[in-house]
Amino acid sequence: MAKKKEKKENCLTGNCPDLQQPDESMVKLSEGSGGRDMQILIDSFRDKLPASKEWSNCGDDSATIKLGNENLVFTTDSYVVTPIFFKGGNIGKLAFCGTVNDLAVMGAKPIGLSLGLVIEEGLPKSELSQIMKTIGELSRETKIPVVTGDTKVMERGAIDKIVINTSGVGLTDKVLDIKLKPGDKIIVSGGIGEHGTSLLAKRFELETDLPTDSKPLHEEIEAIKEKIKRARDITRGGLAATLNELVEKDGVRFLINEEDVPMKDEVAALTQILGVEVYNLACEGTFACFADKKNADEVLKKLKKFNKMAAIIGEVQKGSDVIVQTRFGQKILSTPLGEVVPRIC
């Protein structure tokens, strides 16, 4: 970009600064928030990694590779959430469920997880024990074993309490990566924004009884797998991030009917109190799925058995972008950029 040194009308001193460029030499906090900033960061180093011809879906929640009649599905995720204990769970629960769900949304039956722990010196052993107990209980309930792992301890201050990485493998005969086409219906498995509400509330000293919605989803997805084309865990970045990722991937438009989008009262309240859009709030145990319109009602009926708030929220159309039909006009829903910041005024 050419430097603008000549004096202009609006320039009082004759020393107008160059266009402000962000400090690109350092990674910013917003680049980890699941929104557009993060995508840009990832794209910037993705091309340094050689691509694979054998593996598919490498940019997705999980990557897949054909092994005989089956597909092996492989995923990984790291968990750095603060606080590590919150209503309804702890970081261990998120770590277990998050990875199980990344496998489940590809249609896979999870067969084993790895568990990597990086622990800050000084973390109370009782807290570590509680986290491991939670993971153990989930493993038992779901019959998904933790089969390998690693443990490291870092000096006090080097990290914030604990970082957990879970990787997982699963198998499926049919990978849920069927391209969407106009007419397909968009369905969510339950109310959105609960996890994000829970975290934001704590940060801004708002009390709520809302627990996190983190839970394993493999049973729900198994129940509808034959009737859907795609599924996506709605996590950081909220529904907006999830939907935008897919319109780009499949080259379609989504038309969402705002009045059909389900959310709990507390979530609606929080979005109004803090002036944030519900579409940008993280979820943890809620997913979006896409079905041919002839299957949509059946899928919904099955999902409602797990969560009464499941709903059909829109449909796929020709075009691009995610459009939301409000009870008045329409608006475009874009990917959130970085951290969710409440409005002041």
Interacting span for other proteins (CB under 8 A) from 1-9, 57-65, 71-79, 152-160: 1-9
- Which residues 150-189 are close enough to bind other proteins by CB under 8 A? none
Torsion of CA 75, 309, 142, 238, to 10 degrees: 20
Looking at beta carbons only, is 9 or 155 nearer to other proteins? 9
Q: Which of 2, 3, 20, 25 lies at the binding interface for other proteins (CB under 8 A)?
A: 20
Looking at beta carbons only, is 13 or 126 nearer to other proteins? 13
Torsion of CA 343, 246, 37, 117, to 10 degrees: 100
Beta carbon of residue 53, minimum distance to other proteins (angstroms, whole number): 34
13 binds other proteins (CB under 8 A): yes
Q: Which residue do the tokens 């990917």 mark?
A: 335
Looking at beta carbons only, is 107 or 262 nearer to other proteins? 262
Structure tokens at 285: 């145990």
2 binds other proteins (CB under 8 A): no
206 binds other proteins (CB under 8 A): yes
**Strands, E, within 228-285: which ranges?**
230-233, 253-257
Q: What is the total count of residues that contact other proteins (CB under 8 A)?
A: 62
Q: Residue 98: in which H helix or E strand, if any? A: helix 91-104
Q: Which of 2, 10, 67, 141 lies at the binding interface for other proteins (CB under 8 A)?
A: 10
- Which residues 235-264 are close enough to bind other proteins by CB under 8 A? 264
Beta carbon of residue 226, minimum distance to other proteins (angstroms, whole number): 24
126 binds other proteins (CB under 8 A): no
Cα→Cα distances 29→35, 38, 229, 317, Å: 11, 9, 34, 35
Looking at beta carbons only, is 151 or 272 nearer to other proteins? 272
Query: Closest Cα to residue 290, out of 257, 262, 319, 314?
Result: 314
9 binds other proteins (CB under 8 A): yes
| CA-based end-to-end distance of the chain | 35
Dist CA 185 CA 260 (whole Å):
13
Query: Closest Cα to residue 81, out of 266, 275, 278, 284?
Result: 284
Burial class (CB in 10 A: 0-12, 13-18, 19+), 193: buried
37 binds other proteins (CB under 8 A): yes
Determine the Cα angle at 118 with ends 237 and 106, to 5°. 45
16 binds other proteins (CB under 8 A): yes
Q: Build a one-symbol-per-residue string for 321-340: x at contacts with other proteins by CB under 8 A, - elsewhere.
A: x-x--xxxxxxx-x--xx--
225 binds other proteins (CB under 8 A): no
Interacting span for other proteins (CB under 8 A) from 52-60, 82-90, 134-142, 206-214: 206-214
Burial class (CB in 10 A: 0-12, 13-18, 19+), 24: exposed
Q: What is the CA radius of gyration of the chain?
A: 22
Interacting span for other proteins (CB under 8 A) from 150-158, 203-211, 231-239, 287-295: 203-211
Q: Specify the 3-state DSSP secondary structure of 153.
A: strand
**Binding residues for other proteins (CB under 8 A):** 1, 4, 8-13, 15-17, 19-23, 26, 28-29, 36-37, 40, 197, 201, 204-210, 264-266, 268-270, 272-275, 277, 304, 308-309, 321, 323, 326-332, 334, 337-338, 341-345
